[in-house]
Amino acid sequence: MNTTQSEKITPRSQDYAAWYQDVIRQADLAEAAEVVKGCMVIKPHGYAVWERIVAELDRRFKETGHKNAYFPLLIPESFLRKEAEHVEGFSPELAVVTIGGGKKLEEPYVIRPTSETIIGHFFSKWISSWRDLPLLINQWANVVRWEMRTRMFLRTTEFLWQEGHTAHASHEEALEETLRMLGIYAEFAEGIMAMPVIRGIKTRAEKFAGADRSYCIEAMMQNGLALQAGTSHDLGQNFGKAFDVKFQNKNGELDYAWQTSWGVSTRLIGGLIMSHSDDNGLVLPPKLAPIQVAFVPIYRKEEERAQVVEKAHALSAELRRLGTSVVVDDREGYNPGYKFFHWEQRGVPVRVEIGPRDVAAGSTVVKRRDDGAKQVVPMAGLAEMVSGLLAKIQSDLFGRAEKRLRDNTVLAGSLGEVAEILKDATAEKGGGKFVMVHIADDPACDAKMKELKASVRCIPLVDEHGGPGKCIITGQDVPQRALVAKAY
Amino acid sequence: MNTTQSEKITPRSQDYAAWYQDVIRQADLAEAAEVVKGCMVIKPHGYAVWERIVAELDRRFKETGHKNAYFPLLIPESFLRKEAEHVEGFSPELAVVTIGGGKKLEEPYVIRPTSETIIGHFFSKWISSWRDLPLLINQWANVVRWEMRTRMFLRTTEFLWQEGHTAHASHEEALEETLRMLGIYAEFAEGIMAMPVIRGIKTRAEKFAGADRSYCIEAMMQNGLALQAGTSHDLGQNFGKAFDVKFQNKNGELDYAWQTSWGVSTRLIGGLIMSHSDDNGLVLPPKLAPIQVAFVPIYRKEEERAQVVEKAHALSAELRRLGTSVVVDDREGYNPGYKFFHWEQRGVPVRVEIGPRDVAAGSTVVKRRDDGAKQVVPMAGLAEMVSGLLAKIQSDLFGRAEKRLRDNTVLAGSLGEVAEILKDATAEKGGGKFVMVHIADDPACDAKMKELKASVRCIPLVDEHGGPGKCIITGQDVPQRALVAKAY
């Protein structure tokens, strides 16, 4: 593919939004599909990261009893109208198929923006007794939402995601599922993406259209903006009633099923980029890096080449035996500097250099992508050392991201103070903060935050900021502070 | 989910098409999505089979240097028109999005029926030199083709598939790739699906719209009908010219890239069903079975229960250590007969029964799904025995399918003979044959076969039927026999 190596990456301090686009281009993750409005092409390196994300999540879903299935892309337009809030939330974003096989359709189809409606329809056919519950389904799919302002990975007209859809015999069980999946998202974000998150509940104004309550994980990007990284919805009996999902309970009475839905998407890749990457390009946490270690043989003469390349292959084989994903960059016609740059921009966590003098000395030079630290490491025991280093990088990345989150979380006691704290924060210039304030779960209060171009991101499930207080807008008593921030 | 156990499966001899639908329903593989014309829901058991297919193929694609990527679902309508044959082939089948975000679109988008056009557009941006070649991309995706007559898995308006798209510096390399991927499909079909296939080249009338030549694998279903199970296309420079995919060759001259595309889809699951299943339901080859072994504990009293269930779990753990996928059906409230039926209909290759007397005797009863053979097997060494049995079942399934193919392949020397052989063959009644005839690669000859409701399926790459002869329609000399059959 076209090598764009010589193009520069805008420094973060100059323009964070431009930096983000540059990192994506230089790491060859994706490119805007200008001919398809708001869409993008996920290029091989970006797709390989997505495959790692899918593998990690899919395993967790299966371990908790969920099964994958696949429902139609096209949904009869009338289905959306069956749940009043749902249609209101999604109609402005729909792509509508009006022609099929050369003929105007009697009833148009919409391309799924999410699948609660079509899955609700099938749940009503599959569920008749408490014995059929819980029904735990997940779908990996593409969805389309007609977006006005798009940003690669973060908000695109089409995106890839998973959507879990479950049905339960009681609200208690449904709520337990909602929180279980939120917990899986949080554990994945922190343990695998090295991205600390705040688990919380959305305000009523910010919840999913059709849910009773929505739970979310919110992460802080390097510019201090919030990113909603995953959501899990307690749907109550709303879709159960809209789609007649009824079951006979243990007492022989008919009741509507209690449902949940939950999802994460390719947006996570945007969060990954903005959690760890630097002015030299992408930085990937080892647990999600499609390539964890790149060996770069260094040589001038042909006889040196054979020797260092052979050694690189032998050492890489040892690393592979430990379950590490390795590439030996023995491409001809490219100098070592080019190769260093290549793997650095693509976020490979560890680079191992081997030259003729290293072979003679029985050592290598190992470089960390995250902090740039270099060290000479003996070939004997290299595999174990690098394996340990990968674990260290993973935890260091999390540690740094967590410190940033802590350092940029502040308290505010009045609307004026919130306004002052957030006034200069933008996606481009940075300066965002997580502002913890007492604020009522009231659409009027959410609207006040919107005036500041901010929003109530969530009411954290664990209150670490001192309990009750008075709402900065209404003055009413509220049990704890909520998280307010500017967000993607 | 709703248990449909008591519903009967129509015997194959009575109505093969009804049998096919019944097997799908009873194995809980899929169901027609009546509310979305021509579409289906792939239910968890069906999707699990697809996941096994994806895993096996994806590994083979990656081993041969291909990388996965993802391109937009929506394609500008004008793109289709850039390749004259392509638009002619696909326009009657398009789903068209005319409204997005509440507004009529200036240029409608079509939902991809296949992605040569949109990928061609991006290849032209990514390729500029011979150094960028070969470019080897694969995409796992959903596609939509507005079909008039649909059958679950075999022909649905939306289906899941993979589409490989590659670009090369010479026709020789492109053709090599086309045949390499055909070889991978054939090896997968025979080695993993236990489904023998004929590798061949399509006639000019039957080739993919936009290809220079199309290669295919054709399988024989139990009713003697042919199923095109995979195709690999030599696209020549057709899409290169349509989308201006140019590169500078080693001599410094500009040339158009030589491209290929190749795909298999969820249709393979239809082929799988019709290769091995019987009047009792689904039969899966062990290498694609999501569950390979089902343990059914048999007991009357509670103290027996604990004992047999414990033993079943201990034995199943040994099998898992050998890499076997096992379920222990310890559900309460269902009798053994129900469980036998349950796993049988779902195609699980081996069942292991353990009752109190078996525990006392240190033995189990092992039953093969494919031929119904039962034997008493000592618990000591059970895991190794079952593991070997799975391999035996896999090869027996292939052996039986291959014998069927051989027994139902016949020669014909005239048009009248072909007509006579195929006259009563239908999807419902069976009686299909693979008829090997000398026939010219001429659209007029293909048309003659269409009059018999048959088609020239392919000209086999390996001629096993005696070399040259005279075309049964035109009388001209042709180098070998071609395969004619009724087909799905």
pLDDT tens per residue across span A394-405: 999 999 999 999
Q: Are the CB atoms for A375 and A354 separated by under 8 Å?
A: no
Amino acid at B179: L
What integer pLDDT is reported at residue A1 of this predicted model? 43
Q: With contacts defined as CB-CB under 8 Å, which chain A residues touch B128?
A: 2
pTM equals 0.97
A contact test, residue of B4, B79, B91, B96 with most A CBs within 10 A = B96
CB-CB under 8 Å, B93 with A97: no
Q: Among all residues of chain A, which has the CA nearest to that of B125? A: A2
The shortest C-alpha distance from B378 to chain A (Å) reads 32
| b/e per residue B353-367 (b: at least 16 CB within 10 A) | bbbbebbeeebbbbb
Please give the structure tokens belonging to residue A462. 């664990």
B contact test, residue of A97, A119, A131 with most B CBs within 10 A = A97
Length in residues, chain B? 488
Sign of CA pseudo-dihedral A423, A428, A430, A433: positive
What integer pLDDT is reported at residue A4 of this predicted model? 46
Distance of CA B346 to the CA centre of its chain: 18
Sign of CA pseudo-dihedral A299, A302, A306, A307: negative
**What order do you get walking across the sheet with A213-220 strand by strand?**
A67-68, A135-144, A158-168, A258-265, A226-236, A213-220, A197-201, A455-460, A481-485, A434-438, A409-411
Contacting residues for A109 by C-beta, under 8 A, at least 6 apart: A74, A75, A76, A77, A96, A97, A100, B36, B95
From the first residue on, what is the mean pLDDT of each consecutive set of 10 residues in chain B (488 residues)?
A: 65 97 98 95 98 98 98 96 90 96 96 98 98 98 94 97 98 98 98 98 96 98 98 98 97 97 98 98 98 96 92 97 97 94 97 96 97 97 97 98 98 98 96 98 98 98 96 98 98
The shortest C-alpha distance from B129 to chain A (Å) reads 8
Q: Among all residues of chain A, which has the CA nearest to that of B109? A: A36
Q: Is the pLDDT of residue A3 over 50?
A: no
Task: Look over chain B and give the mean of its residue pLDDT values, rounded to a whole number.
Answer: 96
Q: Are the CB atoms for A418 and A412 separated by under 8 Å?
A: yes
Q: Which of B379, B366, B294, B368 is nearest to B328 (CA)?
A: B294
Distance of CA B286 to the CA centre of its chain: 16
Q: Are the CB atoms for A153 and A275 separated by under 8 Å?
A: no
What average pLDDT does range A362-381 have in this prediction?
97
Task: Look over chain A and give the mean of its residue pLDDT values, rounded to a whole number.
Answer: 96
Distance of CA A462 to the CA centre of its chain: 22
Question: What pairing do the DSSP bridges indicate for beta strands B293-297 and B326-328?
Answer: parallel
Which secondary structure element, helix H or strand E, spans residue B401, and what is its range?
helix B382-407
What integer pLDDT is reported at residue B4 of this predicted model? 46
What average pLDDT does range A209-220 have in this prediction?
97
CB-CB under 8 Å, B1 with A126: yes
Give the count of Cβ contacts less than 8 A between chain A and B: 176
Contacting residues for B417 by C-beta, under 8 A, at least 6 apart: none
Q: Is the pLDDT of residue A5 over 70?
A: no
The shortest C-alpha distance from B363 to chain A (Å) reads 31
Rounded to whole angstroms, the Cα distance separating A305 from A297 reads 8
Q: With contacts defined as CB-CB under 8 Å, which chain A residues touch B79?
A: 35
CB-CB under 8 Å, B125 with A75: no
- What is the phi-psi region of residue B101: left when phi exceeds 0, alpha when psi lies from -120 to 50, beta otherwise? left
Sign of CA pseudo-dihedral A187, A193, A197, A203: negative
What average pLDDT does range A191-216 have in this prediction?
97
The DSSP code for A70 is: B
Question: What pairing do the DSSP bridges indicate for beta strands B40-42 and A477-478?
Answer: unpaired
Sign of CA pseudo-dihedral A96, A101, A102, A103: negative
Q: Are the CB atoms for B1 and A126 separated by under 8 Å?
A: yes
CB-CB under 8 Å, B91 with A132: no
**Domains of chain A by range and CATH?**
16-276 (3.30.930.10), 291-391 (3.40.50.800), 409-485 (3.30.110.30)
The predicted-structure confidence for A117-149, as pLDDT tens digits, reads as follows 999 999 999 999 999 999 999 999 999 999 888
Q: Are the CB atoms for A217 and A201 separated by under 8 Å?
A: no
The shortest C-alpha distance from A370 to chain B (Å) reads 26
What integer pLDDT is reported at residue B6 of this predicted model? 57
CB-CB under 8 Å, B73 with A158: yes
Q: With contacts defined as CB-CB under 8 Å, which chain B residues touch A125?
A: 2, 31
What integer pLDDT is reported at residue B54 of this predicted model? 98
Rounded to whole angstroms, the Cα distance separating A101 from A103 reads 6
Which secondary structure element, helix H or strand E, spans residue A459, and what is its range?
strand A455-460
B contact test, residue of A3, A66, A96 with most B CBs within 10 A = A96
Q: Which among B35, B41, B97 has CB closest to A97?
A: B97
Q: With contacts defined as CB-CB under 8 Å, which chain A residues touch B40?
A: 72
CB-CB under 8 Å, A75 with B95: no
